Chain A
Amino acid sequence: MTAPLTPDSEDALCDVVRAAAAAATPLRIVGGGTRSGIGRPVAAATPVSTAGLSGVTLYEPGAMTLIAKAGTPLAEIEALLATERQYLAFEPMDHRPLLGSNGTPTVGGVVSANVSGPRRLRAGACRDFLLGLRFVDGHGRLVKNGGRVMKNVTGLDLGKLLCGAYGTLGIVTEVALKTLPRPERAATLVFDGLTDAQAVALFCKALGTPFEVSGAAFVDGRALLRIEGLTDQVGYRIDRLTQLLERPDRTVIKGADHTRLWDDVRDVRTFADSTGSVWRLSVKATDAPAITSALQQSLGAQTVLDWGGGLIWARLPQDAPAAAGAHIRQILAPLGGHATLIRAGADLRAETDVFQPEPAPLAGLSAGLRARFDPQNILNPGLMAV
């Protein structure tokens, strides 16, 4: 494999992209490489790394604002925020355990893949915390959008488009993120022995209360409800929820075990060190039980629920048919929602629609946007759409 190009400034990156555009040379964009197994395999391409664009350029805790270059390791950012008792509230998932990948996650990768975690349910996704960004498009032009302030409606919101575009519209060079104060305390109510349907019903009830449940997951037969907040708040809310849900048999987890518990949910640890492909389904929460039961019955899938049921992780057996993806999408068709293939070998990813195919008019818009931002089709070509 060729050593990646490692431009050390936005200007240098613009030069790289301009040259590639002129020669129609495809580029494979690499942050920390921990998520390079997501998407359709990018055909023979020159790797370009953001490693040379690294470092936090601004952190103002009193304004809840952080600006970092794209190649900055996420861990560096999280450590810095911890010194001010702040954090990235969208709780970005670490894909390494699930994908079995190595490397160091970067903030540019988190934003480009719109990576969130269990707290997405209450706090919002990565895209909701993105205040602004800078990127180099497929023409080799440096573009900035948004800014560093909390409220900004000046012009079209390209940040949302770039966030989750996996580099296909531009190479992100710098991001501004909103930070939040870390909760003082956290605890989780645990309910054992529930079915998927019972778990989702419990979640709906809990999420309909004002107690600001910040995690609602169903893993290995255990339903988890996370409460976070100020010190006194958490105890009060745990008590109120226990009463309301009429489940005195619940147990409570807190302390160090608690952090590990939610890191495991976030990273879908249940499916780490396993075989078989893993799908991620985004659905209406109350549809989840019917979907998981169809997945279990027709494909022998093992499932995990997050986001109160709105997010389904499904692991298929190793010998699942290649057409399983089409089957999953048939299950979703009458209900709405969508499915993405997150973990699979390159062969399966090459022959499957990794991302949910869009209806014609929307596919047309997406293709039109790609054609404008990357007319030579050189940025991670084919990763999201052929």
Chain B
Amino acid sequence: MSTIVMPVPDAEVIERKDQIVAALCAALPAETVISDAFETRAYECDALTAYRCPPLAVVLPRTTEEVAIALKICHDMGVNVVPRGAGTSLAGGSLPTADSVIIGTARLRDTLEIDYDNRFIRVQTGVTNLSVTGTVEEDGFFYAPDPSSQLACAIAGNIAMNSGGAHCLKYGVTTNNLLGVRMVLVTGEIVTLGGAHMDAPGLDLLGVICGSEGQLAIVTEATLRILPKPEGARPVMIGFDDAEVAGDCVARIIKSGVLPVAIEYMDRPCIRVVENYAKAGYPLCEALLIVEVEGSEAEIADQLDRITALAEPLGPVEIRVSKSAEESAAIWKGRKSAFGAMGQINDYMCLDGTVPVSALQFTLKRIGELAIEHQMEVANVFHAGDGNMHPLILFDANKPGDLERAEAFGAAILGVCVDVGGCLTGEHGVGIEKRDLMIRQFSPDDLEAQMQVKDVFDPHWILNPAKVFPLAASAARRQRQH
């Protein structure tokens, strides 16, 4: 059915299931090991639900030391390991294989240290993204990266995917807010990188761990930078009847020196669906921008004045400046419910290629043309300030062949992103989804250099194999495994 293939599971490993589970159970508390075929089904997929496969077993350790024990056993027995956070990856990053053991962070949920003087928090990586902010909020602090999935996704997955969010235009993505980790190497050794200080002593290993999609180590603790909450924040909503002008408006705002925390963009198909669902009162136009700024009341007013002054000469169909918390919520309501709204009416595939801001209009135009060519519908909602597109391709999972057509359309869109100087993925990661498209963006030498890094951390390629790198490119390495 679907076009993304996974390697044939190793029958010899599956054969040894009882032995492997017995070794894990002997070394770990009984309740941390799940091997019942019914229960492991709960872990058969992540948010890329078209692909499913229950793992051999699941281990949910409560401490770093237990992670180390589990990983060492799998390593010594030649069993592949799929690290898992909350399983919200949209790229199939935490998709198991039948011959793999999942090591999950679900029980690693402690806050270990809060330090307001030095502005950091140290947590076990199973805590959710939102709960980090929840822990420090009353004291006037927050954790900046805010993926839309923040209620569910774990810091573990955020680190592995280098996740971003609406506010990263100002605050950066996970890698810019991660000070240190404690992690387990495939050998079971526990190491610490970074900490409360601000830079690396030698090679920046932390920098390559962040965004490594579970390829290099299992991260069990994280030291995260927290920031004092801004005095306030307010958005302005600007609608245009011309996508090109909207793109121009984004560039003008950025160039002007005002640095908004977020510039979000929705196109007509998206506005239509969102309006039906959330009744946010958006004008039905070609392009809608939501621009949010922060500061004191006077600072906010100053910045919003500057933005509206830039937008007005461009002839927008509407400018709506929020004047209260309620109005702000109303403006954000539609944007925040975009994915949910889309999910109500259709199955959708969410891409996240990034393009240079200067190529936004061209890319949107090409996506429109490709939609006609592929006879598919697409809605666009994305982080315009940093060019991180989110085309949502609508399809019907129950209709034979539709997923494949959506995937082909998606690949064509990502090809355009790469061609205009952008990349395949801005925040969701490569996973299995974009694995075989990597050759669109990277030369064999580029990929070889990346795979060499994996060779160093994971010489036998037991951690999340068959992800990130094109299957053909990694074949030799995966085969020499055992």
Contact = CB atoms under 8 A, between A and B. Distances in A.
Contacts of B176: 124, 128
Residue of A286, A365, A369, A373 most packed against chain B (CB within 10 A): A365
Given A120-B198, A151-B168, A208-B228, A158 B422 contact: no
Contacts of B195: 284, 336-337
A60 B358 contact: yes
Interface string B197-227: 1111111111110111001000000000000
B441 interface: yes
Interface in A123-147: 124-125, 127-128, 137, 141-145, 147
A283 interface: yes
B185 interface: yes
B408 interface: no
A340 B201 CA distance: 8
A148 B356 contact: yes
A154 interface: yes
Contacts of A125: 198-199
B370 to A, nearest CB: 20
Interface stretch (B98-106, B315-323, B373-381, B445-453): B445-453
Interface string B452-467: 1111110000000000
Interface in B417-442: 421-430, 434, 438, 441-442
Contacts of A65: 356
B173 interface: yes
A326 interface: no
Contacts of A208: 116-117, 119, 140, 228
Interface in B186-200: 189, 191, 193, 195-200
B267 interface: no
B199 A114 contact: yes
Interface in A215-247: 229-230, 232-233, 236
B369 interface: no
Contact of A149 (B203, B356, B468): B356
Interface residues of B, number: 93
A98 interface: no
B296 interface: yes
A154 B441 contact: yes
Contacts of B245: none
A194 B359 CA distance: 52
A164 B424 CA distance: 26
Nearest to B356: A63
Contact of B255 (A61, A160, A362): A61
A71 interface: no
Contact of B446 (A120, A145, A236): A145
Contacts of A25: none
A67 B383 CA distance: 22
Interface stretch (A26-34, A101-109, A180-188, A262-270): A180-188
Nearest to A336: B195
A366 interface: yes
A107 to B, nearest CB: 18
Contacts, number: 257
Central interface residue in B211, B231, B454, by most chain A CB within 10 Å: B211
B254 A160 contact: no
B91 to A, nearest CB: 9
A149 B353 CA distance: 10
Interface stretch (A15-23, A47-55, A351-359): A351-359
Nearest to B299: A233
A184 B257 contact: yes
Contacts of A184: 257
Contacts of B230: 210
A229 B231 CA distance: 15
B388 A62 contact: no
A310 interface: yes
Q: Which of A84, A152, A181, A338: most chain B CB closer than 10 A?
A: A152
A256 B196 CA distance: 34
A369 B387 contact: no
Contacts of A114: 199, 204
Contact of A366 (B185, B202, B258): B202
Given A64-B254, A150-B387, A307 B449 contact: no
Contacts of B210: 157, 160
24 contacts: A63-B254, A114-B204, A120-B199, A121-B198, A128-B172, A142-B445, A151-B168, A152-B426, A153-B161, A153-B425, A153-B427, A154-B430, A155-B468, A156-B208, A156-B468, A159-B207, A208-B117, A230-B302, A232-B298, A282-B197, A285-B118, A310-B197, A359-B191, A369-B456
Interface of A: 60-65, 84-85, 114, 116, 120-121, 124-125, 127-128, 137, 141-145, 147-161, 163-165, 169, 180-182, 184, 204, 207-210, 229-230, 232-233, 236, 282-286, 307, 310-311, 336-338, 340, 355-356, 358-359, 361-362, 365-366, 368-369, 372-373, 384-385
Interface of B: 115-119, 140, 161-162, 164, 168-169, 172-173, 175-176, 185, 189, 191, 193, 195-208, 210-212, 215, 228-231, 251-252, 254-259, 295-296, 298-299, 302-303, 354-358, 383, 385-388, 421-430, 434, 438, 441-443, 445-450, 452-457, 468
